[in-house]
Amino acid sequence: MIDDRVLDRLGDYFVTHRVGACYRLTFGQFVEMEQAGTWQPHMGNKHYDFEAARQRIGELTALYRSAARLGDKDAQQELRTLVAEIEREIADAHASADSKIAVG
């Protein structure tokens, strides 16, 4: 049985990082992988949805601009952090895909 706080944290991560859209996973599959220790956010496999990740960056950027207009520094910092994480995922997925092409 998974602790409710852990499940909430996983749910927040799943939604914030659009795991379902980017990796074509259900929340249940994601939780099972996390519990088994097999989840890696930068899997870089052919299932990574670059378009969904870039769309999420666009959404977060729009939220950042709104936070900037309101002067909400905490929200701006959090949104910058989220965008940076997604950009790292994209870069890692590209690198992993490139290495598979070079090796295979």
Residue range 47-83, pLDDT digits in tens: 677 888 888 899 999 999 999 999 999 999 999 999 9
pTM of the predicted model over 0.85: no
Eight-state DSSP code of residue 45: S
Taking the CA atoms of 68, 19, 30 and 101 in sequence, report the sign of the dihedral they define: negative
CA atoms within 13 A on the CB side of 94: 9
pLDDT confidence bin for 46, thresholds 50/70/90: low
The model's confidence at residue 102, banded by pLDDT at 50, 70 and 90, is very low
Give the closest residue to 23 by CA, choosing from 8, 35, 38. 38
